[in-house]
C-alpha cells in the first residue's frame, strides 16, 4: 500500500516530484526516517531545496506515520535534527566562504536577501523557515553576514522545531489527502502555516512571561 500513488499526483518541476513521492512512500521504516533527516538537512547544507523542497519529505513522513509505518514522534525528531544541523552547515559555509558563493550562484536574489537579513536581524532566521528558497539561502546568508553564532543557533533551533513539527502534523492529519497538502505547500501554504505557528508561539511566550512577572 505504501508505494501506491494515484496517477493524478502533484505536478511540479515536470515529473521529478511525483517520482520522488512515489519512491518515498515505498520506503521501509528506517529509511523513511533517514530520508526525512537527509532531505530536511540537504535544503540548506547542499542547496538541495531548489530541486526537492525538504518540506515534501517531512510532510510525507507524517503521511507514513499516519499509516502506522513509523512513529510520529520519530518523524518530527528526524525533521528537527535534519533542519537544525543542515542549516548550521549552511551557516558555516557562509561564514567561511563569505558572500562569494551567493554572489556567484544567486547574483539577482542575493542582494535583496542580504538587505532583508540586515534589516530583520537574527529573527530573520526563524522567518526564513517559511519558504523553500529562504530555507535554502538564509543560513548561508546569515553566515556571510557574520551573524553571531549563538544568536543564529537560538533562532535556528526555534525555527527548526516549529517548522518540522508543523509540516509533519500537516502530513499526519492529511493522510491519504497528502496530494492537496503538497499542492498547498507548493503555493506557499507552508509559509502561512509556519508564520501562524510563529505568531502563536510568540503569543504563548509573551503570556508565560507576563504571568511570571505578575507573580
Query: Cβ distance 140 to 94 under 8 Å?
Result: yes
* Residue 57 placed within a domain: yes
Q: What's the rounded Cα separation, in Å, for the pair 140 and 157?
A: 15
* Residue 202 placed within a domain: yes
Task: Give residue 82's pLDDT.
Answer: 92
Per the structure, the complete domain to which residue 43 belongs is given by 16-214
Quote the DSSP letter at residue 46. Answer: S
Overall number of domains in the chain:
1
* Residue 147 placed within a domain: yes
156's grid cell: 535556528
Q: Which residues does the chain have with pLDDT short of 70?
A: 1-15, 45-52, 98, 178, 180-209, 211-215
pTM strictly above 0.75: no
* Residue 139 placed within a domain: yes
* Residue 11 placed within a domain: no
Task: Give residue 34's pLDDT.
Answer: 92
Task: Give residue 194's pLDDT.
Answer: 56
Q: Which of 89, 117, 94 is nearest to 104 (CA)?
A: 94
* Residue 154 placed within a domain: yes
Task: Give residue 80's pLDDT.
Answer: 94
Q: Which of 32, 55, 48, 49 is nearest to 159 (CA)?
A: 55
In this structure, what is the dihedral angle of CA atoms 139, 144, 150, 153, given to the nearest 10 degrees?
A: 10
* Residue 4 placed within a domain: no
Task: Give residue 136's pLDDT.
Answer: 77
39's grid cell: 532531505
Residue in this structure with the C-alpha cell 551557516, named with its chain if needed:
91
The pLDDT tens digits of the residues spanning 37-92 come to 998 888 776 665 556 677 888 888 998 998 889 999 999 999 999 999 988 998 89
* Residue 1 placed within a domain: no
Amino acid at each position: 500500500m505504501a508505494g501506491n500513488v494515484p496517477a493524478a499526483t502533484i505536478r511540479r518541476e515536470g515529473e521529478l516530484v511525483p517520482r520522488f513521492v512515489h519512491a518515498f512512500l515505498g520506503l521501509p521504516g528506517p529509511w523513511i526516517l533517514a530520508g526525512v533527516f537527509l532531505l530536511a538537512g540537504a535544503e540548506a547544507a547542499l542547496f538541495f531545496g531548489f530541486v526537492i523542497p525538504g518540506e515534501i519529505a517531512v510532510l510525507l513522513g507524517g503521511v507514513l506515520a499516519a499509516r502506522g509505518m513509523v512513529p510520529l514522534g520519530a518523524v518530527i525528531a528526524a525533521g528537527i535534527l535534519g533542519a537544525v544541523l543542515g542549516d548550521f552547515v549552511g551557516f558555516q559555509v557562509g561564514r567561511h566562504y563569505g558572500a562569494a558563493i551567493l554572489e556567484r550562484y544567486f547574483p539577482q536574489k542575493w542582494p535583496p536577501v542580504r538587505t532583508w537579513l540586515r534589516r530583520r536581524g537574527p529573527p530573520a532566521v526563524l522567518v526564513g523557515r517559511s519558504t523553500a528558497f529562504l530555507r535554502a539561502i538564509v543560513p548561508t546568508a546569515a553566515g556571510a553576514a557574520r551573524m553571531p553564532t549563538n544568536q543564529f543557533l537560538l533562532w535556528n533551533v526555534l525555527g527548526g522545531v516549529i517548522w518540522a513539527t508543523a509540516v509533519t502534523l500537516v502530513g499526519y492529519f492529511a493522510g491519504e489527502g497528502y496530494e492537496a497538502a503538497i499542492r498547498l505547500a507548493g503555493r506557499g501554504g507552508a509559509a502561512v502555516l509556519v508564520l501562524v505557528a510563529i505568531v502563536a508561539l510568540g503569543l504563548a511566550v509573551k503570556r508565560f512571561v507576563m504571568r511570571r512577572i505578575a507573580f
